[in-house]
Amino acid sequence: MKKFSLVLILILSAVIFAGTFYNPLGPTLLPAAGLYINKVPTLQTYYWRNLDQAQTLVLKEQADFIVLPVALGVELINKGANYKLAGVSLWKTFYLVSSQNINNVEDLKGKRIVTLHGPGQTADVILKILKKMKNIDFEIVYVTSGPEIIQLLASGKETIAVLPEPFVSLAEIKTKGKIKVQIDFQKLYANLFNLKNERIPIAGIFVSNKKFEENPNFVKRVLNAYEYSANNFYKNNFEDAVNYVFKIMQTMPKPVLEKAASRSEIFYTKDIKEITDLYLKNLLEYGAISNIPKDLYLNY
């Protein structure tokens, strides 16, 4: 009887805790809001707060599903992480902002352009592509955080920056319109490569190979729920999604999140190979990733 009870407890535990899902705090929580509000049975949902935490979760295989910047996820796979990219949900979020009027990219010649973190992130790569392809000389300056960049812009110590949402909208609101969007970086990227779609595969969902091998039906169920959240819940329950992210983040005013959401392009698709392959080639050429994994995409 005791042996039967122990087996039953183990089976129930396996059912109760079938998988873990992690999403960063920020705009990428918008497409996942429906997944967090309307729970998937047996799926535990969490948040990751910084890149170090995200790397630990992936390299130690503590996350069955995790939303990451595509460049970061690919580089973690290059470092040995046993994951695949299932699909992309965030396609538009980067803008060049300034207190100056910038009519075209030639106006950037000789300027200082501030951007986040350091070499390898999306804005940095596109700036380097722009310098090379258009032969425009400007200085790229790296700053640790979005709020720090906004403070530099507001004080006049810096005048041009490339930022992702929601920092773009926060900069506009904080400076009462002194800082404005001058260049849509998705449109710039499309123009540089003559692309029909003005999209960059910015963030996607990575899935543990181990979890997919163990329980492919569960993985498909979670990915379908994520797709529904991004493509149906988000669009049909926009206010609920924004309210949820506002409640969880607690650092961004609701008007900023609403403005940022309306300027971001959010939809989930697993039909990503063509556009993502081009993006990865550019990431590799400009040193943002060390290799392009051969078996990167999850087929489900």
Domains of the chain and any CATH numbers: 2-90+209-285 (3.40.190.10), 94-192 (3.40.190.10)
What does the DSSP 8-state code read for residue 108? G
Alpha helices in 101-166 (DSSP H): 122-134, 146-155
The pLDDT of residue 159 is 96
Return the DSSP state at 297.
B
CB 57 within 8 A of CB 269: no
**Number of residues written out for the chain:** 300
- Is the four-CA dihedral 275, 281, 284, 289 of positive or negative sign? positive
Residue 97, number of CB atoms within 10 A of its CB: 25
Q: Residues 154, 155, 156, 157: what is their CA dihedral angle, to the nearest 10 degrees?
A: -120
DSSP 3-state assignment of 270?
Answer: coil
Model confidence at 10: pLDDT above 60: no
Better-predicted residue by pLDDT, 125 or 298: 298
pLDDT at 9 over 70: no
Using DSSP, state whether 27 is helix, strand or coil.
helix
pLDDT score of 15 more than 80: no
3-state SS class at 162: strand
Q: Mean pLDDT, the chain, as a whole number?
A: 92
Mean pLDDT of all residues in 161-172 = 95
Pairing of strands 65-69, 19-24: parallel
pLDDT, mean of residues 75-88: 97
279-284 average pLDDT score: 93
**120 dihedral zone (left: phi>0; alpha: psi -120 to 50; beta):** left
Please, what sign has the CA dihedral across residues 162, 166, 168, 170?
Answer: negative
> How confident is the model at residue 2, as a pLDDT?
55
Cα-based torsion angle of the residue sequence 266, 269, 274, 280 in order, rounded to the nearest 10 degrees: 60
CA 110 – CA 46 distance, rounded (Å): 44
Angstrom distance (rounded) from CA 219 to CA 102: 46
Mean pLDDT of 253-259: 93
